[in-house]
A = this chain, B = another copy of it.
Amino acid sequence: MFIQNCWYVAAWDKEVPRDGLFARTVVNMPLVFGRDAAGKVFALQDRCCHRAAPLSKGRKEGEHIRCMYHGLLFDKSGQCIAVPAQERVPAALKVRSFPVVETHRWIWVWMGAPELADTALIPSTPWLDHPAWRALDGYVHYDTNYLLIADNLLDFSHLPYLHPTTLGGSPDYAAVLPHVERKERGIHLTKWVKNTEAPLYAAEYGGFKPGAKVDRWMFYEFLIPGVLLMDSGMTAAGHGDKDGFREKSLAFRGCQALTPETDNSTHYFFAHPHNFLIDRPDVTQSIHNGILTAFDEDREMITAQDRNLRLDPDFKMAVLSVDAAVGQFRRLVDRYIISETKPAN
């Protein structure tokens, strides 16, 4: 069961072609994406109302989609407008349409009641297309439920253990608990670790000497359904404070989004914009590769964790000090789901 009344990242903008169609399943719903004459994205259920053939195997005809099984023609609102061998097209012949917004490189889709689709609820990711920041587009696919990945992202105490040579962080870094605040639509975490060992990449990119001490910060929002906006970085030890840290610092604005594909699979969109050496594509590539390597480490562990949970679905997770944010987010998700299902009961 998933939250319906929220925006999910469905695709990178470039994935939906100018002409042609793009298929992606979101919260168990097969969707097809296309663009109208003006280039504006639309999203329909990817299932012809006739006999359930995927429209994404169909043909784009201008702004319309022709189902290539029996030739039904749909407009961009999902209304069937032509049926071979019959004059009249019943109004009931239509497929569901979904509110969709393309902004800052991501295509967001609203899976719930269309009249509730408030675009103000879309998390803002300006760093994905801002000229002062650079990143590469990331996507990985998981064969697990999205909540296990959300747990992972809500507890960075795993960094020194699972990612010792990639995302780094010394054990003293893990020992510092973030300040956790529960907000209306998510969890806000604030973490300052002062006078800690810089991660390996800092020496290369930021002029920090190996073993140099730094002040590291991490401010992040983790919003329903599973969007992580992370303001992180480091500066020389002693210079870190909330307002002055931009000088001589290495800063990132991580943008990540978990979108359930099915109950047991997840789309994971991410980018890790940086504000330094932005004229060096090799640096951008290297940062991206480092993230990818770390995400492979995550995926291997989470998939193994998932196997254990399938062997014993009754397993109760232990709650430790590091788990404050994990528990709060899970309760928030439950609360939204309950509020959505209540009217139907």
Q: Which residues of A contact B (CB under 8 A)?
A: 25, 28-30, 46-47, 49-54, 57, 66-71, 83-86, 92-93, 151, 155, 157-158, 160-162, 171, 174-177, 300-301, 304-305, 307-309, 311-312, 315, 317-318, 320-322
CA gap between A109 and B46 in the complex, in Å: 40
* Contact A315 B47, beta carbon cutoff 8 Å: yes
Q: How many monomers of this chain does the complex have?
A: 3
With A86-B321, A174-B84 known as contacts, the answer to whether A158 contacts B308 (CB < 8 A) is no
Q: Which residue of B lies closest to A54 (CB)?
A: B304
B311 to A30, Cβ gap below 8 A? Answer: yes
When C-beta atoms are compared, the residue in chain B nearest to A90 turns out to be: B318
Q: Is the Cβ of A161 less than 8 Å from the Cβ of B70?
A: yes
Q: CB < 8 Å: which of B53, B305, B309 contacts A308?
A: B53
Q: Are B57 and A171 in contact (CB under 8 A)?
A: no
A322 to B86, CA, bound (A): 8
Contact flag A161-B321 (CB < 8 Å), given A85-B177, A308-B30: no
How long is the Cα–Cα vector from A344 to B45 in the complex, in angstroms? 42
Output the least CB separation between A202 and chain B (Å).
22
When C-beta atoms are compared, the residue in chain B nearest to A52 turns out to be: B308
State the CA gap A71–B320 with chains docked (Å). Answer: 12
List 15 contacting pairs A-B, 8 Å CB cutoff, sorted by A.
A29-B311, A47-B312, A52-B305, A52-B315, A54-B305, A67-B161, A69-B301, A70-B322, A84-B157, A84-B174, A84-B322, A85-B320, A85-B321, A85-B322, A93-B318
